[in-house]
Amino acid sequence: MISLKNNVARNTHIKCKEHTLVLGENTYIMGILNVTPDSFSDGGQYDEVNKALDHAHIMIKEGADILDIGGESTRPGAEEVDAKTELKRVLPVVEKLVQEVSVPISVDTYKAEVAKAVLEAGAHIINDVWGLQREPEIAKVVAQYKVPVVIMHNQKGTHYEKDIIESIKEFLSKSINIALEAGVKKENIILDPGVGFGKNFEQNKEVMSRLGELNTLGYPILLGTSRKSMIGKILDVEANERVEGTVATTVMGIVQGVDIVRVHDIKENLRAAKVTDAIIR
């Protein structure tokens, strides 16, 4: 049974420095720009500055509302990199993009040092795949620069002592408290259920079918399912053939109250989002 969106009061705007995202009117498309050599779907394709910039401009032309830059692969089994290596990858791209494009720039990092450097360079959003719990000091950096933060659910392993949605809610509630206590404003918090992180195939499907239950937390929801293994397993296709499957999850997410979808394939997901928005919003 799909859990549909509910009427819990939430923020109506997200301020990203000079940019404002108006919630409820349409779904925002966050384009994925991995400047890594080893990401699961596009590793090595955009790990040179010029290639990254060219792809960023293509995504914006196709309709991306936000760009999310990642300098460390988070695929299962990927090696962690230190802050120096991560900054070497992302900082030159951020510095160029903030001068060249007119959409908010998000940086996918859990490291406080990286967050501070990219925000100083002009980035607008921090996207933390460890929900501020890997390096809690990152919350103070976010608060200092008064920017939005995406708090994602994550864990090592796939064992859950209780109901998975309740477990995700508990994790996210802890992260929200870390953020608020550090001085992050409530209106700058975005939640991500972390599909594909700390969850097996069946768990990912359950989370997708019950996304609407997360609306009771009262924060905007970001969904990142693009080309992920759940889709690959259902369709029995490789990562670059998972566009239609991703589109299906985008539609499911919007119906259940998702505000932002993080995707590789902009045009296709934007078209699906526009049709879904026109029907349900």
Residue numbers annotated as active site: 228, 262
**157 close to 198: Cβ distance less than 8 angstroms:** yes
| Cβ-proximal residues to 202 (8 Å cutoff; 6+ apart), any chain | none
Q: What is the spatial distance between Cα 13 and Cα 33, in angstroms, rounded to a whole number?
A: 25
**110 close to 130: Cβ distance less than 8 angstroms:** yes
Which two tokens mark 117?
């450097």
Q: What is the spatial distance between Cα 202 and Cα 155, in angstroms, rounded to a whole number?
A: 16
For 175, the 3-state DSSP assignment is: helix
Q: What is the spatial distance between Cα 78 and Cα 64, in angstroms, rounded to a whole number?
A: 27
Q: Specify the DSSP element, H or E, that contains 30.
A: strand 28-34
Which two tokens mark 61?
């032309």
Residue 274's Cβ-count burial label (10 Å; 0-12, 13-18, 19+) is middle
Phi-psi region of 193 (alpha: psi -120 to 50; beta: other; left: phi over 0): alpha
DSSP code per residue over 55-82: HHHHHHHHT-SEEEEESS--STTPPP--
For 171, the 3-state DSSP assignment is: helix
